[in-house]
Amino acid sequence: MNVGDWALLLTAATAAGWVDAVVGGGGLILIPALFLVAPQLTPQAALATNKLTAFTGTSAAVITFARRIQMNWRLLVPAGLLAAVASALGAATVSRIDKDVFIPLIMAVLVSVAVFVTIRPQLGTTLAKDPPTRRKVVAVVLLSAGLLGFYDGLFGPGTGTFLIISFATFLGTEFVRSAAMAKVINLGSNLGALVFFAATGHVLWALGLSMAVCNVIGAVTGSRMALSKGAGFVRITLLIVVIAMVIRLGWQQFG
């Protein structure tokens, strides 16, 4: 790769880290950039290298959020481990899924998310008046970790976004707290897929670690902005990213 290629990938890695830390969806920035610079990459190599980069950025985001937001580690750690196992299973299944059916389905879900957030302006900006029971919290977090962890290993884009929406909708948590919880589970799902891809020899370590440095910078910056600017900022960013995801996936599928 020439200097211009490296500049593009490092810039994309920084932007992906920022977006991932705030609302998720950084893979839709970095994976296309990888294919643009190295079109000869297999899908598994691109996904695997993205997971290495994303894992480091998500780790930095978790540390940044944890310094400012009280976390329920007794629940989130097991949820993260569940997401790791589910993600590894998803990664093992990736070659067996018909993307021509799967991508339009994800697009439909993303459009539904955008409409849902738009018509409910209070979602994620205020705490629920009636806090959920402990049983409901455990059920929602573990179910989200299992299902979305599997999805992250299988395909990936928007995992953090779906986690944030799930927590805000079913638990009534603010977007910033939802983002912090999502990062812990997303860390587990990134690790699970990364371990599988590494074991099967698909990770481009030198490239992935180089991009990881910039991804960490973007992740720390994004998580700090989410903490300082609050739920309203996260909500607007979420809507922008969801719309961008739909456009990007639509172009990939039908363009």
Q: Are 149 and 90 in contact (CB under 8 A)?
A: yes
Which contacts (CB < 8 Å, 24+ apart) does range 110-119 have? 110/158, 110/161, 110/242, 110/245, 110/246, 110/249, 111/246, 113/161, 113/162, 113/165, 113/242, 114/239, 114/242, 114/243, 114/246, 116/165, 116/169, 117/165, 117/235, 117/238, 117/239, 117/242, 118/239
Least confident window among 53-57, 156-160, 181-185: 156-160
Residue 104's alpha-carbon distances to 48, 238, 245, in angstroms, are: 23, 20, 12
Least confident window among 13-27, 98-112, 157-171: 98-112
- Tell me the pLDDT of the chain averaged across its residues: 86
Query: What is the tens place of the pLDDT at every residue in 64-110?
Result: 999 999 999 999 999 999 999 999 999 888 767 665 666 677 677 77
CA angle at residue 104 from 103 to 105, to 5 degrees? Answer: 90
pLDDT computed for residue 122 by the predictor: 72
pLDDT computed for residue 118 by the predictor: 79
Q: What is the mean pLDDT of residues 36-53?
A: 86
Least confident window among 26-40, 118-132, 217-231, 237-251: 118-132
Residue extents of the structural domains in the chain: 3-254
Instruction: Please count the CA atoms within 13 angstroms of the CA of 198 that sit on its side-chain side.
Output: 14
Q: Which residue has the tokens 């097991």?
A: 78
pLDDT exceeds 80 at position 158: no
